[in-house]
Structure 1
Amino acid sequence: MIHDSKERYGSISKWLHWLMGGLILWQFLKFFDRINDGEHWIGQTLVPWHISIGALLLVLVAVRIFWALGQLKQRPRHDPATAFMVKAGHLALYLGMALLPITGILTMIGNGYGLKVFGVQLVAKGPEIAWAASLGGLHSPLAWITLLLVIGHVGMALLHHFVKRDDVLRRML
């Protein structure tokens, strides 16, 4: 089943969810740069892909939003008692997923580093742009907030599965 239904999410929604979840976890490995100045396996092997993976996530966020909007009428419904909180939590996650790569790009361009994605120079190195660097300064605080949102998201999924014993998690598996 490619499309979503009232009972469960379709294969495209699931694929986007789990692919992005894995890539976001990879992005969170950047926090290990704060340990020993990144002089370890994670810092030297996985973290160098941070900018490219961030750019890919920005594209996937756009794809996922358009896909979700197209599936809106047939998507599984939330418990009316908690629907507002569920929607607010997901909106916060989507904002984090969109704003993190945008502020990352602003950091790179604003500090004059240019933007290289998967080996392709998209924006050449140039002069510093104060307003872009300033907005890019929100990248790190947004990363911490998004990390907390992801932990909450996973925690709620596990709560639904193991405590409430409903089908909320199964709809995305």
Structure 2
Amino acid sequence: MPTSTPWLRPDSATRYGSVSRLFHWTMAFCFALMFAAALAHFFAKDTPVYELLWPLHRPTGTLLMLLVVLRAAWALLHASQRPPHLSQAARLGHLALYALMLAVPCIGLLRQYGSARGFAPWGIPLMEARGEKIEWMTDLGRLLHGKLGWVLLACVLGHVAMALWHRRSGDTNVLPRMIGSGEAN
């Protein structure tokens, strides 16, 4: 179905539409920021890079959680119009990405709530400070949030590597589906 505005394209069997691409690339930027902050936290504490990036970690993570919920809803609503997965492995890889993109911030928010500290990303109060900690929540968050975050980073890097591999291997070039230029081969 052609549109009168070329920049506002719907999803189709050969490419992702404007809204899907906006979700993808906005989240890619936010994840790059999140992983840069996590790497600075892990490798460069007490440096100017850490001081710049680490305060962005929680508000960006909260934004990512909202975006993944909206993106998943958009994908489900438009599933019949989207390009098909190339294989069962690709389908499972995308499901793993979505599961981790949801689990990591949920566990982070659970830990935050259990800490009894308030949380107001961008000045919007999401959690009020309380008097008593909930240990199982903080323990679960301490155990899983960071570890699953690194697994998510590995999956994201694998996702990028596979997209580039498909481009170079002579197999189906999937990059045009998400870049928005031309048609996928």
Q: Normalising by structure 2, what TM-score?
A: 0.86
Give distance in 1, aligned partners of 2:9 and 2:165.
Answer: 27
Structure 2 residue runs of 5 or longer lacking an equivalent are 1-7, 180-185
Within a 5 Å distance, the mapping from 1:20-59 to structure 2 comes to 20-29=27-36, 30-36=38-44, 38-59=45-66
Q: How far 1:136 sits from its partner (Å)? A: 1.2
Partner of 1:85: 89
Q: Normalising by structure 1, what TM-score?
A: 0.92
Give distance in 1, aligned partners of 2:42 and 2:78.
Answer: 40
Instruction: Give the % identical residues.
Output: 37
Give distance in 1, aligned partners of 2:10 and 2:70.
Answer: 14
Give the total of aligned pairs.
Answer: 169
Q: How far 1:35 sits from its partner (Å)? A: 2.4
Give distance in 1, aligned partners of 2:85 and 2:53.
Answer: 37
Partner of 2:14: 7
Partner of 1:135: 140
Q: How far 1:133 sits from its partner (Å)? A: 1.1
Structure 1 residue runs of 5 or longer lacking an equivalent are none
Within a 5 Å distance, the mapping from 1:117-156 to structure 2 comes to 117-126=121-130, 127-137=132-142, 138-156=144-162
RMSD of aligned Cα (Å): 1.4
Give distance in 1, aligned partners of 2:123 and 2:49.
Answer: 20
Partner of 1:75: 82
Q: Is the 8 A contact 2:40 2:53 kept in 1?
A: no
Give distance in 2, aligned partners of 1:5 and 1:116.
Answer: 39
Q: Which has the higher strand share?
A: 1
